[in-house]
């Protein structure tokens, strides 16, 4: 199902596990911060809306999405139940978009494979700025909200497995 058929901000609180005892690390890319800041706010608000204490949410910034890999790796070493990485990669004139997107995707995948702390992929990879706006609080909702719910569910799965 494409994003255009699903609002990223919608969730049923009755289906979300109790997150009041969980700690979360959020690593935020500074590139395209007009997009990554609303994504962070969406994630932060959703975590708090589901019982997470504000003091149990750690935020670190990194320069760009490619650095999310290292930031997430170091965040996994903190006492957190799950990590969320937040980035916005927007197509430019060159193939750099392809390499950044592939690199971040593979790097975050590797961290999920090699380590115990789940890392949630909240990295928008858009053709245009408008597509990014639409997915960071615009007409399609906020992917940060979606990522927060995924983080809670994966923290619960880790606790029970
Ligand atoms: N063009 C975008 C970048 N590029 C920067 C890289 O992520 C990285 O910081 C740099 O190559 C140094 O290692 N980053 C984004 O997050 N979004 C972009 O659109
Ligand atoms: C994803 C990028 O690195 C890209 O936005 C940079 O733009 P350009 O390809 O025009 O250098």
Domain with residue 27: its CATH number is: 3.40.50.960
- Dihedral sign (CA 62, 67, 68, 69): negative
For residue 95, which atom of ligand 2 is closest to its CA? 9
Quick one: which atom of ligand 1 is closest to the CA of 96?
1
Per-residue pLDDT of the chain (161 residues; tens, 9 = 90+): 577 778 888 899 999 999 999 999 999 999 999 999 999 999 999 999 999 999 999 999 999 999 999 999 999 999 999 999 999 999 999 999 999 999 999 999 999 999 999 999 999 999 999 999 999 999 999 999 999 999 999 999 999 99
**Quick check: CB of 96 below 6 Å from ligand 2?**
yes
For residue 13, being part of any structural domain is answered with no
User: Whole-model pTM above 0.90?
Assistant: yes
Ligand 2 contact via 93 beta carbon (within 6 Å): yes
Is 96 known to be catalytic?
A: yes
Distance CA 62, CA 113 (A): 22
The structural domain count of the chain equals 1
| Closest C-alpha to 144, from 80, 48, 4 | 48
Question: Domain for residue 6, yes or no?
Answer: no
Q: Which of 43, 42, 97 is nearest to 66 (CA)?
A: 97
- Has residue 14 been placed in a domain? no
User: Which one of the listed residues 6, 21, 74, 96 is annotated catalytic?
Assistant: 96
ipTM of the complex: 0.97
Residue 85 maps to a domain: yes
Count of C-beta atoms within a 10 Å radius of residue 154:
19
43 lies in which domain range?
23-160
Q: Is the separation of the CB atoms in 83 and 27 below 8 Å?
A: yes
Residue 31 in contact with ligand 2 by CB distance below 6 A: no
Name which residue sits closest to atom 5 of ligand 2, judged by CA.
92
For ligand 2, atom 4: residue with the closest CA = 92
Known binding residue 90? Answer is yes
Q: Is 28 helix (H, G, I), strand (E, B) or coil?
A: strand
Task: Detail the DSSP E strand segments found in the chain.
Answer: 24-29, 57-62, 82-90, 119-126, 136-138, 141-142
């Amino acid at each position: 199902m494409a994003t255009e058929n699903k609002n990223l901000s919608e969730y049923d609180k009755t289906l979300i596990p109790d997150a009041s005892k969980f700690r979360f690390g959020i690593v935020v890319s500074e590139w395209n911060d007009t997009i990554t800041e609303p994504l962070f706010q969406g994630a932060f608000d959703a975590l708090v809306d589901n019982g997470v204490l504000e003091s149990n949410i750690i935020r670190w910034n990194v320069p760009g999405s490619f650095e999310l890999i290292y930031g997430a790796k170091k965040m996994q070493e903190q006492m957190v139940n799950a990590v969320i990485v937040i980035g916005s990669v927007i197509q430019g004139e060159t193939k750099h978009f392809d390499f950044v997107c592939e690199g971040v995707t593979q790097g975050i995948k590797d961290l999920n494979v090699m380590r115990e702390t789940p890392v949630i992929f909240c990295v928008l990879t858009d053709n245009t700025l408008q597509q990014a706006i639409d997915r960071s609080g615009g007409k399609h909702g906020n992917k940060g909200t979606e990522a927060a719910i995924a983080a809670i569910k994966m923290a619960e799965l880790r606790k029970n497995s």
